[in-house]
Amino acid sequence: MSSTELPEALAATVAGPRVSAVRVAEGERLRTVTLPGLTLNVRERPSDRTGLPPALYVHGLGGSSQNWSALMPLLSDIVDGEAVDLPGFGDSPPPDDGDYSVTGHARAVIRLLDAGGRGPVHLIGNSLGGAVTTRIAALRPDLVRTLTLVSPALPEIRVQRNAWPTALLAVPGAAALLTRLTKGWTAEQRVRGVTALCYGDPGRVTEEGFRNAVEEMERRLALPYFWDAMARSTRGLVDAYTLGGQHGLWRQAERVLAPTLLVYGGRDQLISFRMASRAARAFRDARMLTLPDAGHVAMMEYPETVATAIRELIRERGGAGPSEHVGAPARTTRTKGSDGPTGRRDGESGRGGDGRGQQINRDDNAGDEGNGS
């Protein structure tokens, strides 16, 4: 279970007129895609170059397309990037059918891609977005060139202790109780809690970044559907964890044909680092970047390092269709060192990013999975 919002950060939303506008970083622009029963807000990062392959970024539970604003410009010279606000999050209103399941979110993204004719794309997901994009890659391989998963919310039996409050949002009545208990919390207090939960080192958040996060928190708390979207999406993720057979997320991970980059943080309080080894085995064409000092949102903490790994994936494996990679040997990179995280290509030595790295093969352990499943 994972979230980019503390459950305590949720308060009763107040119905009323449209809230303040969503923040748009320099170089970004927003557009609205209206489909039958569905309206999606899309954040674009136009490039000076034309003819670049498309990329789509999908945020996690409680997040928004703004979670990708640090990473998108670092890849704008090699991909035509867009980030979507999932239904009920960011500036996307709730879906007409009220479906916040993982499958419902995946269907919304698939409809967006089909409507725009942008597939196949380099698909990049974090947390809940990692579960959503895994399902998309399994069901619609024609839409995916490469897949990058940052702390993907894939099922684990021994859920992280700090993830349990988020999981409890799926219990009927829990939302109302948490709302009453946190009624007096300020937006600043809530953001500090979210940062402490999601970052390996909260000190990496700049003053400007913190102010922007507080502003966004205030905006979200004024949305009349914010609480409902959080609770229903949490319930949808919990339900996805219980599915077995061909609908199970791990079974679908095994069906993914696209070359896959897995990114795990050593200080992630929501997705266990132990799951890295299982993920490396599940995805048939996988490489891994582990960041010892990163938390749950590595693309926000260490965007340069994550961008370098994605760039290498696209350069080496992103030019061919998914069917050409069936049975290809998968490679995995693990990083370590006290200086900070980095990634290293297979068989190379030297320094890159923020620290030193060491490569391991897929058959080596990337951590004790320890869940018996």
pLDDT at 261: 98
The yes-or-no verdict on residue 208 having pLDDT over 90 is yes
Least confident of 37-51, 166-180, 276-290: 166-180
For residue 274, what pLDDT band results from cuts at 50, 70 and 90? confident
Q: Is the peptide bond before 292 cis (omega within 30 degrees of 0)?
A: no
Which distant-in-sequence residues (6+ apart) come within 8 Å of 117 by Cβ?
A: none
pLDDT in the model for residue 109 = 98
Q: How confident is the model at residue 30 (pLDDT cuts 50, 70, 90)?
A: very high
Q: Which alpha helices (H) appear in the chain, and where do they start and end?
A: 102-116, 128-139, 164-167, 174-181, 187-198, 207-221, 226-242, 249-255, 275-282, 298-301, 303-317
**pLDDT number for residue 231:** 86
As beta bridge partners, residue 159 has none
- Give pLDDT, residue 21: 81
Looking only at the bridges linking them, the beta strands covering 260-265 and 144-150 are parallel
Q: Enumerate the β-bridge partners of residue 261.
A: 148, 287
| pLDDT of 117 over the 70 cut | yes
What confidence score (pLDDT) does residue 351 get? 30
Tokens describing residue 139:
């069901």
For residue 162, the model assigns a pLDDT of: 52
Q: What is the pLDDT of residue 257?
A: 97
Residue 257 near residue 322 (C-beta atoms within 8 A)? yes
Q: Which of 57-61, 105-109, 230-234 has the lowest mean pLDDT?
A: 230-234
Check residue 285 and give its pLDDT.
96
Banded pLDDT at 156 (limits 50, 70, 90): confident
What gap in Å lies between CA 180 and CA 160, rounded to an integer? 25
Is 185:194 a contact under the CB 8 Å cutoff?
no
How close are the terminal C-alpha atoms of the chain, in Å? Answer: 16
pLDDT of 49 > 60? The answer is yes
Q: Which of 341, 334, 325 is nearest to 366 (CA)?
A: 334
CA–CA distance, 231 with 202 (Å, rounded to integer): 26
pLDDT digits (tens, 9 = 90+) for 209-268: 999 999 999 999 889 898 889 888 988 988 888 887 888 999 999 999 999 999 999 999
C-alpha 314/C-alpha 147 separation (Å) is 10
The average pLDDT across 334-344 equals 37
Average confidence score pLDDT of the chain: 79
Residue 181's pLDDT is what? 52
> Residue 281: its pLDDT value, please?
95
Q: Which helix (H) or strand (E) covers residue 83, if one does? A: strand 80-84
If one compares 344 and 236, the residue with the highest pLDDT of the two is: 236
SS (H, E, C) 140-197: CHHHEEEEEEECCCCCCCCCCHHHHHHHHHHCCCHHHHHHHHCCCCCHHHHHHHHHHH
For 36-45, 151-160, 281-290, which range has the lowest pLDDT when averaged over its residues?
A: 151-160
Residue 362: what pLDDT?
A: 37
Most confident listed range (63-77, 208-222, 351-365):
63-77
Task: With CA atoms as reference, report the closest residue to 345 among 319, 372, 371, 310.
Answer: 310
d(CA 14, CA 186): 15
Model confidence at 290, in pLDDT bands (50, 70, 90)? very high
Q: Residue range 56-81: average pLDDT?
A: 96
What pTM did the predictor assign?
0.80
> Could you tell me whether strands 38-45 and 332-335 are parallel, antiparallel, or unpaired per DSSP bridges?
unpaired
pLDDT > 80? residue 372: no
Instruction: Summarize the confidence of residues 125-149 as an average pLDDT.
Output: 97
Of 303, 150, 294, 175, residue with least CA distance to 234: 175
pLDDT for the residue 244: 79
